[in-house]
Structure 1
Amino acid sequence: MTRDALDTTLEAVKQLDMLLEESVEEARRRESKTFEEMVGDRSARIVLFGAGGLGRRTLAGLRSVGVTPLAFSDNRRDLWGRMVDGIEVLSPEDAARQFGVSAAFVVTIWGAGSVHRFADSVNQLNLLGCDVVVPASWLSWRYAETLLPFYAMELPSKLLEHASEVRTVFGFLSDDRSRREYVTQVQWRLTGDPSCLSHPVADPQYLVAEVVSELTDDVVLDCGAYDGDTLRSWIESRGSSFIRYYALEPDPSNRRLLEKYIADLRPDLAERVKVFPYAVTNFTGTARFDVTGLPSSSFGDGQGIPVECVRLDDLEMELEGLEPTFVKADIEGAELELIQGGLDILGRSHPVIAIAAYHRQDHLWKVPLAIKSLWSEYRLLLRPHNEEGWDLVLYAVPPKRDPTGQLSAVGP
């Protein structure tokens, strides 16, 4: 390790230690009072800025505890003047005119695929005269019983309860960029302010060239294949560098799009791709699946359609006797269950694993710990592929697939 790299690592260690020095009890007190302290006497006068999924979810949660926001505000012109779930949607200008100096504006714009940054909304609303603009996380901490958890958004005290594990995972990471990314992810989870998070990398998701060297004969297992987006990226960036591509997608709408894409491929490529209607988890059987036709289709609480579930260790026949060399997993929060159901095949074949680490607060450290328990020789790297915490991918790279030959873990 060079002197500059060592200095960078030591600085990251220092920052992580500062973040984790708060006690669980102190964090619980902070969670309970941050929103009121930041908005003052406006805690009951709330405008939700963003009438999409998070905004509507927040509205429902607030109503369940007797809190009714004054209005929605949204940048989408087609919503202005309309009612969404019984609340009027105002243009930002109208909302600022009516409530800019008398209400707290809570930014509820946060979703996969969005280029939005919290700072964008703060700047926009401040310029319109809104003087109190806060992130949704602070409001969610205040009403955690109805609003949390939501993806990686969770109470800071929950992270601090696992401070030792959080420190351990820092020591597993193999390059400076990953260590810096990890610290900012911890910072966001503890402060609730996403402004600290880095912008996404330019490389295709799951296929970062500086992280994983290419083969000409990969056996790819794509868990959560969606509509073929990763297959499409693979072909565009790596061509036909696979002998088999096994695509697993339980959502029928997504799977139809996937199969349509495959049907339009060159015959020599299409014949190497096999599609299965499976949800990958830690048991083989059936479960209910919420079908949305979106990347976020997921297991439901007794809702949705029945789908076939399978463990990776039970896919021997489907894999035609081949061992996977590259496993991609983005399965809406069931990533740990995938690892549990694939202990034999993953522990035996040591493939590259590109796995989502953003669906739960604790996946930031639990997924790396689970990967390391499979094989201690894995090099672990983190790369963000979307804004504000979305599409954070952990790359587990066998030494022989390290393109630099220089990746190493450095403990804190």
Structure 2
Amino acid sequence: MKEIAAEVPAAPWRELDRPLILYGAGNLGKMAGKYLRFIGIPFLYVVDANSKMYENDIEWSGIPVLSPSEVSNSDKKNSLLAVCISTIPFNPLFQSLQAQGWECIVPFYDITEVFQGRHPLKNGWFSGALTDKDMRGTNEALSGWADDISRAHHLQFLAWRCLRQEWVFADAPVTTADRYFIPQVVGQFTGNESFLDIGAHHGEVCVSFADIVHGRFKSIVAVEPDSQNLTELSKVFLKHFPDSVRGRINVLDVVISDGRCSEHFFEGHGYTSQLSSLGEKGVVTVSIDDLQLSPTFLKVHVEGWELFALRGGLNTLRRCRPIVAITAYHNRQGIWELPVWCMNSLPNYRFFTRMHGWCGTGLVIYALPDR
């Protein structure tokens, strides 16, 4: 921790002064393409080692998807390559791309900091210098974790957000396949869970939950306010769940915050849809407590509004004492405010954190009640 605080913090990008090329045509690449088209920033093409997989992909219609061998030396020298992959370590990929001749390489999320006035996506935030208050809060969080893997992953997160350094701990591997369902969580499932999924997107986590418990659950409530996401979620549920199971599943199209308030919602942007002053849709938020539910397992992924959501659900949390999984990587609150709030607000819980992605993404806090 002292080593991180002692170094000069990394500085965010201020402008794009080169033609842009995307690297990675998968889910993050598709989101990046949609993002850039929305804010009006052109890009030349996409590079992917498995380019043939995307030849007929409708989401890349009209956009060339090239293999690395098809890229000219001139483009490698003069363009900015935005890496749209967060499921593998960045440093080895960076070194491999440099060896291929690319001269300017950056994680895609970092360049989104340039356009905060046009789009609310903020996964590329930089922490800036850590204050004395940050140091005290972070040390409190580090002391509160239940295992050393949590402390290692917290430091790994800090090193990226503060310094843009990729720290790797051999005994604390990043796992991308078990987000929300680490062994400590699954080990507490009883076969009669009531799952409340705040920020359900297309229902992927609900489906994973049902599969993990082999269909043995009491109820699922999926909360998703984005109308386009809801359409896809309905298709996923219809495909995956038989009629006998769908009777135990409810979908709510409400926006969760810390209480009832009129806000703007940035709609129609997939998993980046969120509360934002840039949004054109007016909504009235509600709290988790307003839902009057009794979850035994709560997952919250709301693009940086997690602390608001938890504050508005404190009565429910204390009444029901659910297993809790909260994303913590969307803003600076993940450094210490969010974990410390959980640790101070939920007595007789054990707290873990895990990195489920690279480039400072995929950090999830887990709160497990003593039972």
Q: TM-score range, shorter-chain basis?
A: 0.7 to 0.9
Question: What is the number of residues matched between the two proteins?
Answer: 350
Alpha-carbon displacement from aligned partner over 1:331-364 (angstroms, at most 9, x marks no partner): 1111011012112211332211101111113323
Matched, 1:255 2:226: no
Structure 1 unmatched ranges of 5 or more: 1-15, 37-42, 64-68, 80-87, 401-412
Relative to structure 1, the CA distance from residue 216 to residue 91 in structure 2 (aligned partners, 3 Å threshold; closer, same or farther) is closer
Q: Structure 1 counterpart of 2:277, which letter?
A: D
Residue matched to 2:26: none
Residue matched to 2:339: 368
Rounded to whole Å, the distance in 2 between the matches of 1:206 and 1:129 is 38
Q: Structure 2 counterpart of 1:214, which letter?
A: F
Residue matched to 2:101: 129
Residue matched to 1:192: 164
Residue matched to 2:295: 324
Alpha-carbon displacement from aligned partner over 1:155-182 (angstroms, at most 9, x marks no partner): 3424446122111111111112111111
Rounded to whole Å, the distance in 2 between the matches of 1:369 and 1:195 is 23
Relative to structure 1, the CA distance from residue 266 to residue 31 in structure 2 (aligned partners, 3 Å threshold; closer, same or farther) is closer
From 270, 273, 279, the equivalent of 1:297 is 273
Residue matched to 1:18: 3
Structure 2 unmatched ranges of 5 or more: 24-28, 56-63
Relative to structure 1, the CA distance from residue 362 to residue 59 in structure 2 (aligned partners, 3 Å threshold; closer, same or farther) is farther
SS at 1:227's partner residue?
coil
Matched, 1:238 2:203: no
SS at 1:345's partner residue?
helix
SS at 2:282's partner residue?
strand
Tell which deviates more after alignment, 52-61 or 301-310: 52-61
Superposed displacement of residue 128, structure 1 = 2.8
Matched, 1:50 2:22: yes
Residue matched to 1:276: 252
Relative to structure 1, the CA distance from residue 137 to residue 187 in structure 2 (aligned partners, 3 Å threshold; closer, same or farther) is farther
Tell which deviates more after alignment, 223-232 or 356-365: 356-365
Alpha-carbon displacement from aligned partner over 1:67-126 (angstroms, at most 9, x marks no partner): xx9x856305789xxxxxxxx9998667652265x65x6442246xx5454335423432
Query: Of the two, which has the highest radius of gyration?
Result: 1
Residue matched to 1:169: 141
Cα-Cα RMSD? 4.0
SS at 1:210's partner residue?
helix
Rounded to whole Å, the distance in 2 between the matches of 1:378 and 1:279 is 27
SS at 2:218's partner residue?
strand
Residue matched to 1:209: 183
SS at 1:135's partner residue?
strand
Give percent identity, aligned residues only.
Answer: 22
Give the conservation status (yes or no) of the 8 Å contact 1:93–1:128. Answer: no
Superposed displacement of residue 312, structure 1 = 1.1
Relative to structure 1, the CA distance from residue 270 to residue 93 in structure 2 (aligned partners, 3 Å threshold; closer, same or farther) is closer
Give the conservation status (yes or no) of the 8 Å contact 2:109–2:124. Answer: no
Matched, 1:397 2:368: yes
Relative to structure 1, the CA distance from residue 123 to residue 213 in structure 2 (aligned partners, 3 Å threshold; closer, same or farther) is same
TM-score (norm 1): 0.71
Residue matched to 2:287: 311
